[in-house]
Structure 1
């Protein structure tokens, strides 16, 4: 069975041939302190660091993280590992501008305060209840727990820089967006 896109104004029915092979590789978040951000994303969310790139002349570093299960596929050669990193899907990039970690007043805009812009990233988990217990055990800050608000079975947590992370269990979202069923079948 082939994929058929949903159709709305502005949507092209099929991707242009010139885009064949395009892959969404990563999205970037600026982080104040990479040690704090890396601890949260590797310990609490289970991501792994694929590659770190330093740019001393511009005083910043990039960290690329993903849920890479098959680490044997990661080349040891640094150039090949960099190319491999940029060929992956679903990568989270951190940009650390050197020195921000030493400034107690420094803070990035999370995109959800005014003026709003960037909203959140999302992790799909196999068991939302187990994930919530794990987050509770690790003292994670919530924006919204799954039982709160009109949209049930969806949680929002914050990372150490204040960015919002949506947490969903795909199997619980079958009724999401169905007007006849309300917001959720578990509401």
Structure 2
């Protein structure tokens, strides 16, 4: 099954990220920089983002974490919770062209916004999928 490869907390921005991969535990490097490189090159690594806040709610909570697709807490619409999944691909630009050709909604193209070279697409349920380049990020 999946193993936790690494996690990072960003309390100043009220979120944490967890990277899980389908790999043997012994393949996961001890060094944090090496683990980050491992995450960005592993063929089956998933980034899970926890946006703080929903864990303090009473009762049943369902959140997508995206402002355009709110969830519910005991029947009341709310924001927060789950943000998105992230995947790595060999070529973000080619992947986005393929997604468009297949009818997917591109939420953020690779050249839009301040962070170039990554994209966000929506899955059929409206959840965001971050599309990242396999290997090192270009700064």
TM-score by length of 1: 0.36
Q: Who wins on radius of gyration, i.e. which is larger? A: 1
Higher strand proportion (structure 1 or 2): 2
TM-score by length of 2: 0.46
